[in-house]
């Protein structure tokens, strides 16, 4: 008696799982094609190069001041929390390892990817959706152009490169602000060499892989999802907000899943 009402729910759940699986495969196919194509110079036409430069400028350069400001506050917050939990004793030796653990390994890549997704992912999906509805994508195809080469590859690669660079800027700014705030308030040593020694001692070779993977892989997935969402619009302008919402939801979910998997593979 109770099995019949459960059937529609199970069917909807199964359909939702298959839909998410198809979208994941689609995004993986886009990423693989982008990576395969981008290493071949003949595909880097003038229009593609200009589009890539615009993406790097928009995603990686324009938000530098915002990213730097957030990094400064994060570095200061780490010092405050360290003082709260340990007092001033031993803070000089603990500040570097704590910054490496909190900022470099986890917070930096995740926070920067969130900023890029919210700031640029929505704009990317909306822009491509408008181009699709206005017929500019069809016009590009009619003129012999390849929308994938001129629209998708520059955005996916530009997002990945910009996210990685912003992550490095964020980590360095947070480290610098943490050291300067600790030295200025007298809560830690003013010996810069001591601070750098504790940081270098805490950094492990696998941290390099961790930062690369956590900054680049979610950016590739998010940009591919946003391109798929924007170019997948087929009806009217009213579909663009829905496509943007779905793309951002997939991107954020992918960010946390990828970050968790990378942490498990790197540190366990």
Residue 128 lies in a domain: yes
Residue 257 lies in a domain: yes
What pLDDT does 25 receive?
A: 86
What pLDDT does 192 receive?
A: 82
- Identify the sign of the CA torsion 28, 252, 177, 77: negative
For the chain, residues with pLDDT lower than 70 are: 1-7, 9-20, 85-92, 187-189
Of 21, 25, 31, the residue nearest 216 (C-alpha): 31
Residue 159 lies in a domain: yes
Residue 34 lies in a domain: no
What pLDDT does 46 receive?
A: 86
Q: How many distinct structural domains can be found in the chain?
A: 1
What pLDDT does 2 receive?
A: 44
Tens-digit pLDDT profile for residues 206-256: 999 999 999 999 999 999 999 999 988 887 788 889 989 999 999 999 999
Cα–Cα dist 196/73, whole Å: 20
Contact between 240 and 131 under an 8 Å Cβ cutoff? The reply is no
Return the structure tokens found at 49. 């190069």
What pLDDT does 1 receive?
A: 44
Return the structure tokens found at 128. 């491509």
Of 170, 183, 163, the residue nearest 69 (C-alpha): 170
DSSP string, 44-112: --HHHHHHHHHHIIIIIITTHHHHHHHHHHHHHHHHHHHHHHH-STTHHHHHHHHHIIIIIIIIHHHHH
Residue 182 lies in a domain: yes
What pLDDT does 93 receive?
A: 74
Range of the domain at 106: 43-267
Cα–Cα dist 61/74, whole Å: 20
- Identify the sign of the CA torsion 162, 55, 253, 261: negative
What pLDDT does 183 receive?
A: 83
Cα–Cα dist 68/108, whole Å: 12
Residue 226 lies in a domain: yes
pTM for the full model?
Answer: 0.88
What pLDDT does 16 receive?
A: 52
Residue 15 lies in a domain: no
Residue 208 lies in a domain: yes
What pLDDT does 152 receive?
A: 93
Strands of the chain, DSSP E:
none
- Burial letters for 34-47: b for 16+ Cβ neighbours within 10 Å, e otherwise? beebbeeeeebeee
- Identify the sign of the CA torsion 54, 58, 59, 60: positive
């Amino acid at each position: 008696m109770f099995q019949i009402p459960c059937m529609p729910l199970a069917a909807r759940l199964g359909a939702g799982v298959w839909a998410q699986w198809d979208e994941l495969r689609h995004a993986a196919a886009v990423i693989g094609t982008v990576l395969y194509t981008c290493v071949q110079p003949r595909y880097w036409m003038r229009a593609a190069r200009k589009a890539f430069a615009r993406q790097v400028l928009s995603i990686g350069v324009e938000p530098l001041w915002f990213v730097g400001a957030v990094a400064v506050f994060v570095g200061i917050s780490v010092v405050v929390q360290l003082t709260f939990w340990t007092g001033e004793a031993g803070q000089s030796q603990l500040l570097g390892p704590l910054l490496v653990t909190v900022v470099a390994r986890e917070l930096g890549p995740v926070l920067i990817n969130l900023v890029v997704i919210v700031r640029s992912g929505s704009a990317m999906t909306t822009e491509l959706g408008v181009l699709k509805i206005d017929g500019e994508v069809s016009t590009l195809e009619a003129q012999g152009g390849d929308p994938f080469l001129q629209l998708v590859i520059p955005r996916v690669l530009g997002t990945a490169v910009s996210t990685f660079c912003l992550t490095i800027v964020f980590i360095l700014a947070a480290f610098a602000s943490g050291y300067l705030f600790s030295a200025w308030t007298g809560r830690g040593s003013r010996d810069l060499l001591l601070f750098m020694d504790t940081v270098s001692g805490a950094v492990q070779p696998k941290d390099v892989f961790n930062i690369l993977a956590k900054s680049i892989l979610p950016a590739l997935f998010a940009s591919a999802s946003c391109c798929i969402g924007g170019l997948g619009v087929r009806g009217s302008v009213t579909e663009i907000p829905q496509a943007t919402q779905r793309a951002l939801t997939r991107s954020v979910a992918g960010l946390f899943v990828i970050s968790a998997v990378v942490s498990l593979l790197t540190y366990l």
